[in-house]
Amino acid sequence: MIAVLSADLLSSSSYPKQLMEKVISSLNREFKALENLSKEDSGFKIFRGDSFQGIVYDPSKALKAALQLKTAINRLHLHENGINKAFKKEADLRLAIGIGSYDFKRDSILESNGQAFQFSGRTLDDMKKENRKLQLKTPSENINAEFDTSLILFDAIADKWSTASAEVIYYLLKAYKETEIASELGISQSAVNQRKKAAGWDAIDKLLTRYESVIKEHFSNGE
């Protein structure tokens, strides 16, 4: 079993050129970081200019990878003199996680196929009709039902993030401590803690823990 992440940028046609350049550069950096999750090529690639797809070979790590990609985009802004201030999000994405078999392997991920690819791609298409931003599809309807509710609630939390909130979540996902985030952003630890609480980190952390536990129990890496 593998996890396939399929995504597209929301309202990308309205992004200024400078913002789009930041988005593409940020995604490519995150793709390189995700390569460390497996010895095999994850194949993350941008296509059509505003969509991307890639493989996470350990499905239990897929939600965390998805949130890292999301927060990497949500934290971007074009306010040159407001590095440590909170602004309304200027960029966002819609992302589907599909967990299943990998039946047809090609050198290019865009030519590969299988259950995981079909779950991910079809779910992404359906999300456009339902105004969803993050969704999971697996062979288990019980797991789908559990995380469907959880991810709807996550969407509600994430929709309220500012760029500053998203940035703190981004570093927490990368296992930075509050003191390290404060040093990275040039703000106080208390400010980091406030942003962490405002962004709903405790609930997100519990969601990640639950997801990893359930997926490990039902879908072994590569099996």
3-class DSSP assignment, residue 19? helix
Give dist(CA 11, CA 215) in Å, integer: 32
Sign of torsion, CA 68 137 114 12?
A: negative
- What confidence score (pLDDT) does residue 104 get? 53
2-218: CATH, from 3.40.50.2000, 3.30.70.270, 3.40.50.720, 3.30.930.10: 3.30.70.270
Give dist(CA 2, CA 222) in Å, integer: 6
- Domain residues of the chain, as ranges? 2-218
Task: Give residues with Cβ within 8 angstroms of 32, minimum separation 6.
Answer: none
Give dist(CA 173, CA 175) in Å, integer: 5
Q: Output the pTM of the full model.
A: 0.90
In the chain, the percentage of residues whose pLDDT exceeds 70 is 90
pLDDT per residue over 31-88, tens digit each? Answer: 998 887 766 777 898 988 899 999 999 999 999 999 999 999 999 998 776 566 778 9
3-class DSSP assignment, residue 52? strand
pLDDT per residue over 38-48, tens digit each? Answer: 667 778 989 88
Q: What is the mean pLDDT of residues 175-180?
A: 96
pLDDT per residue over 94-116, tens digit each? Answer: 999 999 987 655 555 555 568 89
